[in-house]
Amino acid sequence: MKNEVKPRLYDVLAKAFAQEGVRTCFALLGDANMNWASRLSEEGCRMVYVRHEHCALAAAMAYSRKNWDVGVATVTCGPGVTQLITALPAAVRAHLPLVVFAGEAPLKSGWYNQEIDQAPLIAATGAAYHSLHMPERMPVAVRDAFLQARRERRPVVIGIPFDLQARPWDGPADLPTPSHKLLPRPSPIPPHLDDVAGAAQLVARAERVVVLAGLGAVEAGAAAACRALAAKTGGLLSTTLPARGLFHDDPFASAFRAASHRKPGSSTSPRLTSSSPSAVRSLTTRAAAGSSGRRRRCCRSMSTLSRSVKARKWHVITCGPTRVWESRR
């Protein structure tokens, strides 16, 4: 009778990541993460191999931003971790949930040429670092890392010595409950009546209105609501850079972009993209037939719009996840 081969700890760690719904991982492999990465690939995860650790994290950031899910990357220990230092602060400031599987130097070695104290480097960027040295708790620690990334919306780096990863697994076969089942279900927050009344007064006093949508509007699926607000107030539409493209087919968004990017001192009307003739025709038709006289006055000519932006006469309504801000431009 053949003896059954016990799974290794890296087998269990790969299964723990797969249970968290990881289907894509951006990787640059080395001694401290190659066994785990091979097992994760066998679990059905698509491995995207890059040429630099910075690129692995940057790709995970883009994946997280566009899929509204936890981005996952993996690097080896030592220099592999130090290469993350440039990208991590950007991920922290963008509030992107990421989990990075990073190796650590083997515990059994008295000296290892790639050994550094990784925790202070990662903590200095604003990301969280968890050094996992107790094999029995590692599956739960992986789940907790995903839970922390989701709740705090910031990167979490896991460091595991690669000699521990190769140990036989003597723990239970069942994995802990995945993080997405432990998250509280957020409910919509109704706006306070005073805040709504205050916003209405700001809009009523505004000469010109721009509705500026950011990632909060994207995440909430509020594009239609922003369009309705712009139509009701006679305003134009614009986005922050991360939310670019939210109103790509709206001529009033195109008109504001063209006017706001006009070079200072230019007396000519701003140029639109190659679709500008149709955009201008659509703008003119919509302004003439629109229900809001304010919008018609606001957009009666491209040159007037350009001068208004230059003269900073716009009231900008910024639509975020839970609040509305207004600023005099």
pLDDT number for residue 157: 98
pLDDT number for residue 250: 83
pLDDT number for residue 218: 86
pLDDT number for residue 66: 87
Question: How far is the C-alpha of 143 from the C-alpha of 147, rounded, in Å?
Answer: 6
**Closest by CA position to 122, among listed 53, 185, 63, 187:** 53
Question: How far is the C-alpha of 305 from the C-alpha of 235, rounded, in Å?
Answer: 12
pLDDT along the chain (329 residues), means of 10: 76 97 96 95 97 96 93 96 96 96 89 88 97 95 97 96 93 92 85 90 87 87 91 88 86 60 45 36 39 39 41 54 44
pLDDT number for residue 71: 97
Cα 30 from chain centre: 27
pLDDT number for residue 102: 96
pLDDT number for residue 303: 40
pLDDT number for residue 232: 87
Angle at 142 between CA 140 and CA 147, to 5 degrees: 90
Write down all domains in the chain, each with its CATH number in brackets: 9-181 (3.40.50.970), 193-262+278-328 (no CATH)
**Token pair 């993460």 in the structure block, residue:** 33
